[in-house]
Amino acid sequence: MPLLLLDLDNTLVDRDAAFGAAVVDFLAEHGLPASDLTWVRAIDASGYTTRHDVAVALTDRYGDAVPTTAIHALLDNGAADRVVLAESSREALGKAQADGWTCVIVTNGRTVQQEAKIRNTGLDQLVQGWVISEDVGHKKPEPEIFQAAAATVSVPLPGAWVIGDSPHADIAGANTLGLRSVWVTDGRAWPQDFYQPTHIADDVASAINHAIRASG
């Protein structure tokens, strides 16, 4: 059975848009400048900054004006409560399963938060499994997390496709293991000279459909 390894944040779901919406509400609720959205997003770095470091930065900036419980709620639930799965992505995953693919989500992050996103969007009904870095003790691009994903569904890793938005975490990880990959651009230009994705796509639905066609 062919194996499809899919990134979660900013690939299957638009995590940055969901987090941005949560920050807008957070700033308004606490009477903070709306222009701080840019600063918070820069500190967050699309989720790559640790939760602890973001919490410290927010606490230092806002002090007593914002309760620490509100900061923790933003970081724990803000994006997870707002992420949505595009209908085109839902349809592409359904087609992949109908064609006999085994789909597994491979994501860095904290288990509670990432599983909330998976369940809130219904992705738990559209994939055969998922692995989260906090659970397995390895994060992308380390080979072990991709190996764990294959083991989760008892499907051999060779021949798998990796789909993701991160040149470093997703495409470099696939390159190290000799796997085919699709980079989801979101309008960006490919930034690397040392390795390349097998294919480049504008969105995850196009990426999934390409993998299906290329392996057909």
Kindly state whether residues 69 and 156 are assigned to the same domain.
no
Same domain? For 193 and 122 the reply is: yes
Same domain, 8 and 44: no
Q: Mark whether 71 and 100 lie in a shared domain.
A: no
Angle of CA points 101, 107, 111, to nearest 5°: 120
Say yes or no: 66 and 123 in one domain: no
Give the residue from 90, 157, 156, 160 showing the smallest Cα distance to 127: 90
Same domain, 133 and 30: no
Q: What is the pLDDT of residues 6-43, one digit of tens each?
A: 999 999 999 999 999 999 999 999 999 999 999 999 99
* CB distance 105 to 6 below 8 Å: yes
Q: What is the mean pLDDT of residues 143-166?
A: 97
Q: Are residues 71 and 99 in the same domain?
A: no
Q: How far is CA 198 from CA 18, 29, 91, 161, 171, in A?
A: 29, 45, 23, 9, 9
Strands 129-132, 161-164: pairing kind? unpaired
Same domain, 49 and 93: no
**With contact defined as beta carbons under 8 Å apart, do 9 and 109 qualify?**
yes
Q: For residue 159, what are the CA distances in angstroms to 42, 99, 112, 125? A: 37, 16, 30, 24
Token pair for residue 111? 């288990």
Q: Are residues 125 and 145 in the same domain?
A: yes
Please state, as a whole number, how many other Cβ atoms lie within 10 Å of the Cβ of residue 81: 14
* Residues above pLDDT 90, as percent of the chain: 96
Q: Are residues 151 and 177 in the same domain?
A: yes
DSSP character for 167? I
The answer on 176 and 91 residing in a single domain is yes
The predicted model scores a pTM of 0.94
pLDDT at 87 over 90: yes
pLDDT at 203 > cutoff 80? yes
Do residue 191 and residue 164 come from a single domain?
Answer: yes
Measured between alpha carbons, how far is 57 from 200 in angstroms, rounded to an integer? 35
Question: CATH number of the domain that 112 lies in?
Answer: 3.40.50.1000
Three-state secondary-structure class, residue 103: strand
Quote the domain boundaries for residue 33. 15-77
pLDDT above 90 (res 186): no
Domain boundary among 77, 106, 124: 77
Q: Looking at residues 173-185, what average pLDDT do you find?
A: 97
Q: Which residue among 77, 97, 118 closes a domain?
A: 77
- Total domains present in the chain: 2
Question: Considering 77, 109, 128, which residue would you say is the last residue of a domain?
Answer: 77
Distance CA 160, CA 190 (A): 22
